[in-house]
Structure 1
Amino acid sequence: MELNFVARHTEITDRFRNYVAEKVDKIEKLADRPLELDVTVSKHHGGKGLVGGDHVELTLVEAGPVVRAESDGEDKYAAFDLAMGRMMEQLRRARDKKKIHHHGHQKPLSIHEASADAFAQVDLVPATPEDIERVAAEEHAITPSAAA
């Protein structure tokens, strides 16, 4: 996965880059096929020359939808941790939606598989498609006794 850093009104240190690289391993485990992670760090100004906290935006581009999270904090490490927690929660929810929650995580049976097993237990043979078409054609034909 490719990491992209963008800094606005601040600098990104090597220490911060290493910190993010360590935390990104968690994203790679939860995301399906992550392509790139954009980390945008900006410094807020409180007005009248006062310096505010940092703002971190995370954007994960993967094979599915784009996942975004952002947060403010006293410093960029705290803001990154909060944004990372939000992104991990989104990824966990997305992964949970894809799980099969039936019969202890087993794949549900198709209608064909289920009906084949049921017919085998009662010693019946399912009708062929030709038999079904023949019966349907006979029902639609008008017989002399039905017309009277």
Structure 2
Amino acid sequence: MNLNISGHHIDMTEALHNYVASKMERVERHFDHVIDAEVVLEVEKVRHKAEVTMQVRGATLHAESTKEDMYAAIDCMVDKLDRQTLKHKEKEKDHHNRQARHVNLDAG
């Protein structure tokens, strides 16, 4: 997975970068067809916002969270993304296991 982490109005410390990377590993563990993920961390006065756009096979998933603490925002964002990933995985699994219906088209 290509992971791109950037920040707006925030100093990207090594600890913050490692925290996001470790949390995103959990998502990748549940769904191994992740192509690319872009995480943007943003601070506006007392609001800390974390958002991610992740490209997976067959879809683009997006999650964001706003909290008073950056680490809480990251945790909430990853939880939302994890739920979306599991839902996408189930849809993909159901789609591949679905068998074609056999319809008898006798005209007469």
| TM-score (norm: length of structure 2) | 0.80
Partner residue in 2 for 1:94 = 88
Question: Partners in 1 of 2:86 and 2:73 — Cα distance?
Answer: 20
Larger radius of gyration: 1
The structure that is helix-richer by fraction is 1
Q: Deviations over 1:1-28 (max 9, x none)?
A: 1111121111111001111121122221
Code of the aligned partner of 1:75: D
> What fraction of aligned residue pairs are identical, expressed as a percent?
29
Code of the aligned partner of 2:93: K
Question: Partners in 1 of 2:71 and 2:34 — Cα distance?
Answer: 23
Question: Partners in 2 of 1:90 and 1:110 — Cα distance?
Answer: 27
Uncovered stretches (5+) of structure 2, i.e. residues with no partner: none
Matched position secondary structure for 2:88: helix
Matched, 1:79 2:61: no
Runs of 4+ aligned residues of structure 1 deviating over 3 Å after TM superposition are 107-112
Distance 1:95 1:74, change over 3 A: same
| TM-score (norm: length of structure 1) | 0.60
CA displacement at 1:98 relative to structure 2: 2.6
Cα RMSD over matched residues?
2.5
Question: Partners in 2 of 1:63 and 1:108 — Cα distance?
Answer: 18
Uncovered stretches (5+) of structure 1, i.e. residues with no partner: 45-50, 101-106, 113-135, 140-148
Question: Partners in 1 of 2:80 and 2:27 — Cα distance?
Answer: 11
The structure that is strand-richer by fraction is 2
- Count of equivalent residues: 103
Whether the aligned pair in 2 keeps the contact of 1:32 and 1:63 (CA below 8 Å) is no
**Does 1 or 2 have the higher relative contact order (CA < 8 Å, sep 6+)?**
2
